[in-house]
Amino acid sequence: MKTVVYKPSPENIRLLADLLRRGETVAFPTETVYGLGADALNESAVAKIYAAKGRPGDNPLIVHLYDPAQLKDVALSVPPMAYELMSAFTPGPLTLIFRKKPEIPDCVTGGLDTVGVRFPAHTAAIRLLRETDRPVCAPSANLSTRPSPTTAQHVLADLDGRIPAILDGGPCEVGLESTIVDVSGDRPRLLRKGGIPAEALLPYTGPLETVETADKPLCPGMKYKHYAPEAEVFFSAYYDGMSDTIAAKYDELVSAGKRAVILCLDGNAAKYGDRALYRMGPDFTTYARNAFAALRRADAEKYDAVIAEGVHSAGIGGALINRLIKSSGGKVI
Ligand code: TXA
Ligand code: MG
């Protein structure tokens, strides 16, 4: 299969919406990461997502909508807290888990009686969803286990020849996936940290259960290996002497014959002398935006090891720490 990359012109949006309605997969930009979409009500279309990504079938998909009025086709009930969260944070990087309508096939929800719903903010995504006018389920458009794609080129690198089309809406603004909040039960639960900081949710949710352990993940998807480049990743905790620890780790790797690169904020670059660096911009927001791209770049440039600076856990920092630790497989220095 030939994979074609399209710019978001009105004609191309119509063409890609048509592909989705005919049961094909289309990768599209969102403000978090690129998604690989299919008609959520068409089981054979959804099967193509799992096949293209090599994704385990018990890992449920998020359904993407453009209009809250579509919720009645997807969710069995929408509690008042969900409306408050939606008016505060959507369209945007928030996924809510609801009890699902029976019409949503098991292959979308991994057999669960709940469904994840998200309203992306990227204009090209909204235009595509509106033109398609069906619920579109979409996981991140990477090969399973690889870092999530934040440009159309990343999608192409993983899925060339496996999907018919990619909508190129430029680099993603947030760079990390949506925050997932389960509002289907008695008490709200934070299932995945993401683009909306956990502390911003609290005024709406009250106390949020956030327990996540390796053997009991809250999100089915979080038990799998994740976000891993070929290079070995090390993550440093965030503290005053962090750059000394990172420099020492770098030197140890290099004397063992490895090629290593450090991910650091611009302001810290001088602390590392002439060691190889990827500058992640001035602050945690740019670091988060560029993190997955940096992991892919390290592979393209054949580094053996990546050492990532830690950040503090406020704002987007919480999600960034989570993704970097997962990509390191728990190798925290
Ligand atoms: O920002 C995002 O959320 C991106 C863009 C494309 O929208 N999507 C994304 O999808 O990150 P994916 O498939 O890579 O991650 C979805 C996560 C998985 O960990 C999955 O287990 C969880 O959401 N999930 C989906 N439906 C669920 C449900 N009903 N209950 C609990 N977890 C669910
Ligand atoms: Mg993913």
Segment 87-107, tens digit of pLDDT: 999 999 999 999 999 999 999
State in Å: Cα 28 to ligand 2 middle. 14
Q: Which atom of ligand 1 is nearest to the CA of 178?
A: 1
Cα angle value 11/15/16 (rounded, 5°): 120
Residue to mutate, 180, 184, 224, 289, ligand 1, most ligand atoms under 8 Å from C-beta:
180
Residue 24 is encoded by which pair of tokens? 């094909």
pLDDT band at 220 (very low <50, low <70, confident <90, very high): low
- The span from the CA of 279 to the CA of 283, in Å, is 10
Q: What is the mean pLDDT of the chain?
A: 95
Asked if the model's pLDDT at residue 219 lies above 80, the reply is no
Q: Check: CB of residue 117 under 8 Å from CB of residue 110.
A: no
* Percent of the chain at pLDDT exceeding 90: 91
State in Å: Cα 63 to ligand 2 middle. 13
In degrees and rounded to multiples of 5, residue 20 shows phi and psi of: -60, -45
Q: Which atom of ligand 1 is nearest to the CA of 61?
A: 25
Element (H, E) at 289: helix 284-300
Mean per-residue pLDDT, 254-264: 98
Q: Check: CB of residue 279 under 8 Å from CB of residue 202.
A: no
pLDDT band at 237 (very low <50, low <70, confident <90, very high): very high
Measuring from atom 21 of ligand 1, which residue has the nearest CA? 221
Beta strands in the chain (DSSP E): 4-6, 26-28, 35-39, 62-64, 94-99, 114-118, 136-137, 165-167, 179-182, 189-192, 232-235, 260-264, 277-279, 305-308
Mean per-residue pLDDT, 177-187: 96
Measuring from atom 12 of ligand 1, which residue has the nearest CA? 139
Query: Does 220 sit in the ligand 1 pocket, CB within 6 Å?
Result: yes
Residue to mutate, 53, 58, 62, ligand 1, most ligand atoms under 8 Å from C-beta:
62
- Single out the residue of 57, 64, 29, 27 nearest to residue 43, CA to CA: 57
Asked if the model's pLDDT at residue 225 lies above 90, the reply is no
- The span from the CA of 187 to the CA of 173, in Å, is 31
Residue 227: nearest ligand to its CA? 2
Residue 194: nearest ligand to its CA? 1
**53: Cβ–Cβ under 8 A, 6 or more apart, which residues?**
36, 139, 141, 142, 143, 144, 159
SS3 assignment, position 68? helix
Mean per-residue pLDDT, 125-142: 98
SS3 assignment, position 175? coil
